[in-house]
Structure 1
Amino acid sequence: MSVRNRFGSAAAIALTTTVSAVLLSACGPDNADSGATAAPGSSAPGSTAGSAAPGGASHPGTPAPGGKEVNGTTVANHLTISTGTRNVAMNGTLVDFGSVVRDLAWSPDGRKVVYVGDSGDLMTANPDGTGKTTLARHPDGEEWSHPTWQHAAKGPSGDAVPNETERYNNIVFTAKKAGALRLVKVPAKGGSVEDLSPHNSEGGDNAGLPQPPQTGNTWADAGGRQAAVAFANTPTNEVYIYDDYIRPATQDIGKGSQPALSPDGGQIVFVRAVNGHDHLFTRSTEHDQKAEKDLTPSATTDFTEPAWSPDGRTVAARTPDGVDTVPADGSAAPTQVSTLPGLPVYRP
């Protein structure tokens, strides 16, 4: 079974009724800025397995205190779920952005979100839905999707390669026109939209390496401290990592789709069809480490659209029934944490 298509507009409209029924008595979005975070070394709630065999999802439908249905998001676990409607689940409640939010992603500091609005333009906003700004307007006949915030973090000494921090403060996303897919980028502070052209440098260690495809690229995900971008190529069903922090280099990870880089850039999770279902696989991003781990070896459902927790210990994924989490080391089975269908993403 191939990776499921994301729900369309009809399903999104139907979700409006569903998400309205999942309201919780919990902290609002502003409380995430109060300093409440998971204890160092702890896993996100829901990341421990139930009684299911490893790789087989356990769907207990855990009730919250008072018998209310949980949507799986808390201040402590940083998980957020965008549903393709105007509502985004976070901190145990639903935040109404006032207009449709598609493919929400967080800034590196967790103070802003970027998403595709109901007009199809690229938007930014505060976590509570205020301060909405149009970052870039899509051309007629072009569809934009799945933005990610590319950045180069400062090192332990407080500095970065000169000019790199600002150079890599970009939003990377997919542009689709006349059926053709390509990756594009725009400065996070606003500016012109440009093509992101993954390639290998012609000299040094990259001499002789084949050049990656320039079309058919989609589902970008930026991660790590050096602005690497993972992406999928649809025609070849291959996953790649592009890194031009020092010199351009593109690494072919192997068969799969919908990749996501861990917060430290050392691991990648992606989706691959196995025995009729979409499984989650992880592997190191090191060139000489190619061993893969199937996090869902006994899957009886489809796991798609994975995302890493900020501590890198948990992977959340969408299923037909909601959102599941699974330990990133594969030590336990996936567990359903939310019956709210949508795109899971963690707030840094």
Structure 2
Amino acid sequence: MSVRTRLSTVAAVALTTAVTAGAAALLAGCGPENPAGESAAPPAATAPSGAGTASGPSTRPGGTAAPTPTAPTATATTPAVNGTAGNHLTISNGTDHVLMNGTSVDFGTVVRDLAWSPDGAKAAFVDGAGNLMVANPDGSGRVLVARAPGGETWSHPTWQVSAVVPGVEVPLKNNIFFAAAKGGVSRLKGIAATAVDGTPQVLGLGTEEGPDIKPLPQTGNTWPSAAGPHGTAVYANSDTGEVYIRDDFLRQQGGPLLPGSQPALAPGGEDLVFVRAVGGHDHVFEGGVAERPAKDLTPGAATDFTEPAWSPDGRTLAVRAPDGIYTLPVDGSAAPVKISTYTGLPAYRP
């Protein structure tokens, strides 16, 4: 059964069970709250310094350097200068601080490419030494999951979580995928999310589905994004310029979906967004793992919109631009609206 056909027929049967059990497989945790409420201004304490970018290959297709963020001031005229109050949005920018809940949380170590577990209980990121770390939402309880070898750059971790679904035979998974670049060559690697100072393995990508069976590209793969109840992931290949699907339902299979980069899989695992150059700017498109035309969500873009992230309810996207973070509806019914003066990698905490 092909990836696209299988996803269409099984999703309705397995979704509720898999999401519930998958969340139970992760440790419970709680994050920092904003005691002043959603409309309160962020504190006037020291703001993140430096203009971090997502680490690793192919993180800024537009090639524009992010400006140094400006420290927020706690005044009535700037009630949400970092744009994260009351909306689950977080922003990591390569400093020790992560913006969330309308404030700045000190993780006690450099945080690059932060990604949340599907239940929001844990954060995975790459630290200042290039290692893969997991921590609680307030930065406490840091665990070294894997240590990056010399000369290898790790980037963009993503959580692959699924539960055993009776009658569907979906195996239990609780892994972290990421891109590993060395000597100009990028591969996808994976490791158990519960590992401590473990050794990641190169992900097997198998062969392309369909009648013309052929090996999938094993190098040039970047920007993995996993979601949904079956351990499905998408990723980009810098050599072919296409977005691929990696299906882990009963056996590993996959194939190219459409031209683009920086894909992000929707929480349900059926839809995705990605970046594609149009008229000299990077636009954000929406598509699906099942074949259907992709839709340009930013047709009037006069700047580069990159690094899209899904809100937990699947209705809103956060995207990065050279001058900050914007949000827009997934259905394309409105243009992007700037909500943050900070630049960094947007991610939503479920």
Matched, 1:276 2:280: yes
Compare relative contact order (CA 8 Å, sep 6+) and give the higher one, 1 or 2.
1
Q: Give the conservation status (yes or no) of the 8 Å contact 1:174–1:181.
A: yes
1:90 is matched with which residue? 100
**Match of 1:178, as an amino acid?**
G
In structure 2, how many angstroms separate the alpha carbons of the residues matched to 1:161 and 1:23?
53
1:304 is matched with which residue? 306
Matched position secondary structure for 1:316:
strand
The residue correspondences of 1:68-217 to structure 2 (distance < 5 A) are 68=79, 70-75=81-86, 77-153=87-163, 164-165=171-172, 168-190=173-195, 191-200=198-207, 206-217=210-221
1:27 is matched with which residue? none
Q: Give the conservation status (yes or no) of the 8 Å contact 2:234–2:245.
A: yes
Indicate which of 237, 242, 248 corresponds to 2:246: 242
Q: Give the conservation status (yes or no) of the 8 Å contact 1:154–1:160.
A: no
In structure 2, how many angstroms separate the alpha carbons of the residues matched to 1:120 and 1:284?
32
Matched position secondary structure for 1:298:
coil
Q: Give 1:88 shift.
A: 0.5
Unaligned segments of structure 1, at least 5 residues: 25-63
2:62 is matched with which residue? 4
In structure 2, how many angstroms separate the alpha carbons of the residues matched to 1:246 and 1:67?
51
Matched, 1:254 2:258: yes
In structure 1, how many angstroms separate the alpha carbons of the residues matched to 2:255 and 2:167?
23
- Matched residue pairs, number? 289
In structure 2, how many angstroms separate the alpha carbons of the residues matched to 1:327 and 1:249?
31
TM-score normalised by the chain length of structure 1:
0.78
Indicate which of 218, 222, 231 corresponds to 2:222: 218
Q: Give 1:140 shift.
A: 1.2
In structure 2, how many angstroms separate the alpha carbons of the residues matched to 1:183 and 1:163?
22
Q: Give 1:6 shift.
A: 8.0
In structure 1, how many angstroms separate the alpha carbons of the residues matched to 2:151 and 2:78?
47
TM-score normalised by the chain length of structure 2:
0.78
Q: Give the conservation status (yes or no) of the 8 Å contact 2:169–2:250.
A: no
2:52 is matched with which residue? none
User: Residue 6 and residue 214 in structure 1: after superposition, are their counterparts in 2 closer, same or farther (change >3 A)?
Assistant: farther
Structure 1: which 4+ aligned runs deviate by more than 6 Å?
none
Q: Give the conservation status (yes or no) of the 8 Å contact 2:315–2:330.
A: yes
Q: Give the conservation status (yes or no) of the 8 Å contact 1:23–1:94.
A: no
1:327 is matched with which residue? 329
Q: Give the conservation status (yes or no) of the 8 Å contact 1:73–1:90.
A: yes
In structure 2, how many angstroms separate the alpha carbons of the residues matched to 1:177 and 1:250?
24
| Aligned sequence identity (%) | 52
Q: Give 1:290 shift.
A: 2.0
Measured against aligned partners, the alpha-carbon deviations of 1:80-112 in whole angstroms (never above 9, x if no partner) come to 000111110000000011121000000111011
Matched position secondary structure for 2:162:
coil
In structure 2, how many angstroms separate the alpha carbons of the residues matched to 1:145 and 1:192?
16
Give the root-mean-square deviation of aligned CA atoms: 2.1
User: Residue 180 and residue 303 in structure 1: after superposition, are their counterparts in 2 closer, same or farther (change >3 A)?
Assistant: same
**Match of 1:193, as an amino acid?**
P
In structure 2, how many angstroms separate the alpha carbons of the residues matched to 1:276 and 1:153?
43
**Match of 1:303, as an amino acid?**
F
Q: Give the conservation status (yes or no) of the 8 Å contact 2:170–2:230.
A: no
Q: Give the conservation status (yes or no) of the 8 Å contact 2:92–2:99.
A: yes
Matched position secondary structure for 2:257:
strand
Q: Give the conservation status (yes or no) of the 8 Å contact 2:162–2:170.
A: no
